[in-house]
Every structure is written in structure tokens, then in C-alpha cells.
Structure 1
């Protein structure tokens, strides 16, 4: 892991914790496991001010290119559940893929459980759109 721990901007951390706590009742086993794993990672995450966030860390509204060990490439924007639109490559934080990548940096490799089984992913590229989340946003 490039920075030792997940890096999360503090307002996004507050919002993320709210979403994670509300999502604990999902019936989907893989998603429930992903949320639980992310919550565990948040316990040791480094919480940063917006000005101190490295540009290569995945956060809300980041566009990321992910490569799997199996050889597929996927480019998507990480968004709040209300903005999710899979057809337009907008992936919710409340999906296994969204939970897997939040707070990781360009070059990091992650092993995560998906509905199709465990996958090893490498974050190839991270682009910031300067559309980051405000903790006062409505859930």
C-alpha cells in the first residue's frame, strides 16, 4: 500500500461512515462482506484535510482505471449511491467494487471478494474531477 493505510478526506470519511452504517442490512452476502471489510479498514485509515489529500488517492468522484490479475480493465467514477449509473461507468461506494477501491492510491494492489470470487486488482490510474463530497449532503 503506497501510503501505509487508506487515506480518506475527513468530510468524506463522515459521509462514508454514515453510508456504511446504513447499508448494514443488505441481503446480498458479498456486499455485506465488502461493507464490513471497508468499515474495518476505516478503523486504521489516515483521515486528512482536503488540502492534504494526495491527487492519486481514490475518493468520491475520482475516476479510476483498474486492472485485474485476470486481465480485464475497467474505468469508472466512484460516486454516492444516488448518482450510481453503471451504464455510464458511475459506480456506487455501496458496491463491492466501490468499497474495494475507496482510499487506495495509484499503483496499489488490492485483493477483494466479489460475487464472482476473490479478485486481485491494481489501480492503474486515478484522476480527480474536483467535485468532492460535502459531509452535509443528504443521504
Structure 2
């Protein structure tokens, strides 16, 4: 069974709004959502009032709203993040009932956690879940949230930024698709992040923090490290790239910045790995067909 995959798209289209209305009119989907009627009514008013193909700005009032999409870019649910002071609250729903039981909720939660802590810089992420909502409770427990308080009808969970970093690193130990990074590369990339912003920087910081740390002289010869060259298959397109620092990037020469979507995606993976990765408008399948050069394997530790 392939690993569950969810990406969070910040663009909310008119078609997405119609999907949301369908989900929010399904009693089995909304029975544990306290404000579902208000949200459904709001969406209906937006659709009637605003004749625009993209409605993102309307959904981000008072928080940030994302469509949760599968590996084929089909919306299956949504995530909402609302930051108040140092804390952030998350609400997530898998609205497509055909996808229930596939652990997409936990995948969506992991993506929401990444945004809350690395993009919104929350100190704590909280969730309030109906006590009978077994699927949601299971997803939050699986992602290492702690139960803070409970009543007969509501359970409150939380995750601090420190606990989240620990969760990332501990999860990597048992992850067969985990990535590896050398101590030298991690130190240099952390310096790079001081000057980078945007979605690619968020993803890069996440990858650095979840990676297994290895000594440069002991890294496996099939791992993509900084300044490695590799032959990739991007969907059906074969390309040869070198993974470089931003100042060395040159698209015409095949030198791909680690701060680009594809550059961040391949960092730390091994020859033969294939991953799904969201770029701004779609998800791409990236296969690392052949590692052509790795500085550490060649003894070029100065690179």
C-alpha cells in the first residue's frame, strides 16, 4: 500500500467552494462540526455575490484556509488555521467519504503542523474535537498531540513547537522513506534559511529538521547531498540537475537551487526513490533515476 499523500493548496477556486458546500451539506461529514451551518451559509453567499474564478482572499478572512488534495490534485477535504497570539488552532475535515479510513486525516494534519510551526511560527497548535469523533481523535493521537482537557462532549489537544520538532525527528527513525543530510550541509542550509522566505523555505526547513543527520564521511554513496548531480524523471520528463546553493543556481546549466520546489524535494533522498511533491499549481512525481556525482563519495568534502 502506498504511503498516504496530502498537499495543502492555498488557492480556493469557485469549483472548490462548490465542493465545500457539498461536504457541508452531508450530515455524516458535519455532525461533529459546531459551525458547519454558518460556514455553508457563508460559502453560498460568496458564490452568489462574487463572480470570480478564484475566491482565496474571501476564505482567508480571520485565518488561513487550504484545500486538502490527494496525489492527483483532487480536493478531498480542507484545513483551517487560525493564529491568536503565539497559539494556532487547527480545524481539518476529510469531506470526501470515499477517502475515509485511508489515514488522509493524519497526512493533512502533518501538513497543517508544518505550516503552523514553520510558516506561521506558532508556539503551540491546538485542536478542539468532539468526544465522539473517533477518526479525528485517532489522527491527533497518531501525530503525538497531547490531551490537555476534556468535557463529556469536547476534547482539547495541543502540540508545542518543541514537541513537534521531537516528533519529526523520532518519526524519521522508523520511516523507510526518510531522508539523510550531512552535518555540514545542515549547518550551511540553516544559514541559507536566514535569508529565504516563502513556501519553498518552509518546505526546506521542514526537510532539514526531519532528516536523519549523518557525518559527511559516512553518508551513503547513493544519497543526494548538496552539489550532487542526478538524473531525474519529473512525471515523464527526463532531466539532469545539480543541487546547488541559491547563489550558484543557473537554470540554463541545470544547476537547481535547493530553495526551489524540485531542489528541496530531492534533498536527502536516494537513487531509486520516487516521491510526490506539490509545486504551486500541481503535484509532480519525482523519481531519482541515477546519482551521477556525489561530493562525499568523490572525496570532495570542501564543496
TM-score range, shorter chain: 0.7 to 0.9
Query: SS at the partner of 2:271?
Result: coil
Structure 2: how far apart are the matches of 1:67 and 1:20? Answer: 27
Q: Which runs of 5+ in 2 are unaligned?
A: 4-174
Q: 1:38 aligns with which of 196, 199, 204?
A: 204
* 1:41-62 residue CA offsets vs partner (Å, 9 max, x unmatched): 3222111111111111111110
Q: 1:115 aligns with which of 276, 280, 284?
A: 280
TM-score normalised over the length of structure 1: 0.80
Matched residue, 2:227? 61
Q: Between the two structures, name the one with larger relative contact order (CA 8 Å, sep ≥ 6).
A: 1
Structure 1: how far apart are the matches of 2:252 and 2:232? Answer: 17
Asked if 1:8 is matched to 2:181, the reply is yes
Structure 2: how far apart are the matches of 1:114 and 1:36? Answer: 13
The 3 A distance-change label for structure 1 pair 132 and 111 is farther
The Cα of 1:129 is off from its aligned counterpart by: 4.7
TM-score normalised over the length of structure 2: 0.39
Asked if the contact 2:204/2:259 (under 8 Å) is kept, the reply is no
Query: SS at the partner of 2:264?
Result: helix
Task: Give 4+ residue runs of structure 1 displaced > 3 Å after superposition.
Answer: 1-4, 131-134
Q: Which runs of 5+ in 1 are unaligned?
A: 25-31, 135-139
Asked if the contact 2:221/2:294 (under 8 Å) is kept, the reply is no
The Cα of 1:116 is off from its aligned counterpart by: 4.2
Asked if 1:75 is matched to 2:240, the reply is yes
The Cα of 1:121 is off from its aligned counterpart by: 0.8
The Cα of 1:35 is off from its aligned counterpart by: 2.3
Structure 1: how far apart are the matches of 2:291 and 2:302? Answer: 17
Asked if the contact 2:228/2:292 (under 8 Å) is kept, the reply is yes
Q: Number of residue pairs matched?
A: 126
Q: 11-20 or 37-46: which moved more?
A: 37-46
1:19-34 to 2 correspondence within 5 Å?
19-24=192-197, 32-34=198-200
Give the superposed CA RMSD. Answer: 2.1
* 1:5-45 residue CA offsets vs partner (Å, 9 max, x unmatched): 21001011111122124212xxxxxxx22321232232221
The 3 A distance-change label for structure 1 pair 81 and 132 is farther
Asked if the contact 2:185/2:226 (under 8 Å) is kept, the reply is yes
Structure 2: how far apart are the matches of 1:41 and 1:93? Answer: 11
Q: 2:292 aligns with which of 121, 127, 133?
A: 127
The 3 A distance-change label for structure 1 pair 7 and 91 is same
Matched residue, 1:95? 260
Structure 1: how far apart are the matches of 2:269 and 2:294? Answer: 17
